[in-house]
Every structure is written in C-alpha cells, then in structure tokens.
A = this chain, B = another copy of it.
Amino acid sequence: MPVGTQGTVKGITPAQLRDIGPQVILGNTYHLGLRPGDALVAQHGGLHRFMGWEGPILTDSGGFQVFSLASLRKMTEEGVAFQSHLDGSPQFLSPERSLEIQRNLGSDICMALDECPPGRMERSKLEVSMARTTRWLARSRAVPLQAHQGLFAINQGGTHLDLRRGHLAEALELDAKTPFQGFAVGGLSVGEPKDEMNAVLAEFVRELPADRPRYLMGVGTPEDLLFGIEQGVDLFDCVLPSREARHGRILTSRGKLNLKNARHREADLPLDPDCACYTCRTFSRAYLHHLFRCGELLGFTLNTIHNLSYTVGLTRAARQALLENRFPAFAQTSRARWQTEEP
C-alpha cells in the first residue's frame, strides 16, 4: 500500500496511481483528522471522493503519529491527550474517536487504536501497555462502522514471542464473538535489529488466522517485503519507496541506484531496463538526473512513479510466483540480482 498521508500519494495523481496498480492505498487518520478534518471529508462524500481515488483505502488508527509527531502527550485509560503538531491545539484520541474519524473518512479497512510502545521497551512496561491495548481493542470492536468498513486488530509484543502469542490469544477471544476482518503485526521495524524482527516474523506470522489478511505495518524495503511474503504476510505499507524517490534513490531489479551520481549524467538507458512503468518507458537516466539536479518538480513525480511501480510490481510478481508454486526460486533470483548486479 503506497502511503497517502494527507489525502494524496505525494506528487502523483490518482490516474497515475491507478496505472501503477496498487490494490489498496493507506490514508493517515492523525493527519486527515487534524487537516482538513474528518467532518469536512465526510461532508464531501468521504476520502475516496475527496481525493479522487476509487480503489480500496486502509486508514491507520492515528496512534503511531500521536506517539511520533505530536507533543505533550498524556495517556489515560480513556485515551491520549496531545497537542497538534500543526498549531499546538489540544486534541484527544481514544479508540472511539479514532474509529469515528475513520468512519467519517469512509475508508474500507479501519485499524483499532493501540498504544505504540517504542522499539526496545522494558518487558514489564510493555506488558502494561499491551493490556491497555487489549482493553482498547474491545472498546474498538463495539464502535459501529459503515456497512462497507472492516476492522483489523493490531498485535503488539515487540520481539517477545510469548507476549505476542498472549496478545493474539486475547484478540482471538474478542474475534470469537465478533470477527475481525484482518490482523496486523505492529511494533516491528521501529529500531530493533533486523534479524530480531525477522526471527519474530518467521515464528509468529503463521500463527495469525490464515483465513484473514495478515498485515505487517510500516514495512518496508524490497528485501523486507520478500521476507514478509515468505512468512505469509499479505499486506504492507511503507513510505520508503515514495520518500526515497523524492531523494533520488531508486529501487530497481538490480539493486539501489542513486540518481545524483555523476555516472548517470549521460546514461541513455531507463532507471530499470526491466521495468515497464511510464517513467522507464519514456525517460532516460540522463533526463531524470538533469531534473533532479535542477530540483524540478517533475523529477519527484517521475521517480515516485517508478519506485512505486517497482514495489507494487515486486509484490504482484511474488503473488504470481506463489500461485504457481515457484516462490522460492522467484525469491532467490530476486535477491541474487539485488546483490550481484549493477543497476
């Protein structure tokens, strides 16, 4: 899922996004709730109509941004009071308010609000935080949504497998009464060593219900996507492909490429000769290098089109390989090319 923080995947139109072909995009509850405000978006028929995107939208709970962007946070059992990062105005987010915003936005997949513990929290504190997240999950489940909206539960527990299992068991108790439409793994890719994250995924993802989508939040790089898919993950979101694009860092089937590099100044070949996106069909590295050096807006757009096309294309190819029972070979070839070929 490309990330459309403020009601736009930065720098590209919905028509360009449709060509890129993601199945779902992500909208940010925190940002949209503050500006332009969920009531205004509802007035305009919901986020799909407001931003001109007809495909599915997942909205996050807003929790991650409250814990990373907002200031003067004060946690209570009821929710979290904070100051807006935009104008310092006092705000309050609770499980109910998060889902009210998401109901107003009219997204297709809603996320239940969780506390977002930092990457390496002390175990005893983490347990207290997770117990609250479970109580919040029960409150979330009770909030009525629009008929087309589904609710995902978020699993926490850092890199402690036993905590994750306990947390999942609690979610499944709630699920037995009213089913969730999917399960997300949160609290990874937040600073812990990559091998610790991977060890958790390798053990834990398969324990999430197989009949519902499994969503790994905030991941990631092409390598991370491939590893996640290998473990059974169905959904990912990450700003990395679009953010890297705006910095001239290009993802390709032959590994990463830095467009700023002088060796691309005269290069009359596409960013990725194996890519069929609009950017690769139409423009040379020399032209894109020129746009980047000039700081031209079009450079951000064209790089974003490519990086998102590459990332979405990678997941699509992985899916096809899974359907045809040749995923291991696909993953091996992809990794070998990233590591050995020169982009």
Contact = CB atoms under 8 A, between A and B. Distances in A.
A78 interface: no
B6 A294 contact: yes
Interface string A262-283: 0001101000000000100011
Nearest to A9: B298
A286 B44 contact: yes
Contacts of A243: none
A310 interface: no
A51 interface: yes
- How many A residues are at the interface, by size bracket? 35 or more
Interface stretch (A10-18, A65-73, A119-127, A168-176): A10-18
A36 B265 contact: yes
Contact of A10 (B10, B13, B298, B302): B298
Contacts of A11: 297-298, 301
Given A13-B301, A268-B44, A8 B50 contact: no
Interface in A1-51: 6-8, 10-15, 35-36, 40, 43-44, 50-51
A40 B7 contact: no
Q: Is the interface of A mostly helix, strand, loop or mixed?
A: helix
A296 B278 CA distance: 22
A290 interface: yes
A8 B296 CA distance: 8
A161 interface: no
Nearest to A300: B297
A294 B6 CA distance: 8
Interface in A121-154: none
B293 A51 contact: no
A283 B15 CA distance: 12
A104 to B, nearest CB: 14
Contacts of A286: 36, 40, 44, 50
A193 interface: no
A292 B119 CA distance: 35
Contacts of A98: none
Contacts of A13: 278, 298, 301-302
Given A11-B298, A35-B293, 15 more contacts: A6-B291, A7-B287, A7-B290, A8-B291, A10-B296, A12-B298, A13-B278, A13-B298, A13-B301, A13-B302, A14-B282, A35-B290, A51-B287, A52-B282, A297-B301
Contacts of A282: 14, 52
Nearest to A294: B6
Q: Which 9 A-B pairs rank lowest in CB-CB distance, beginning with the nearest?
A: A11-B297, A8-B298, A36-B290, A52-B282, A6-B294, A8-B296, A50-B287, A10-B297, A44-B268
Contact of A266 (B10, B14, B43, B294): B43
A284 interface: yes
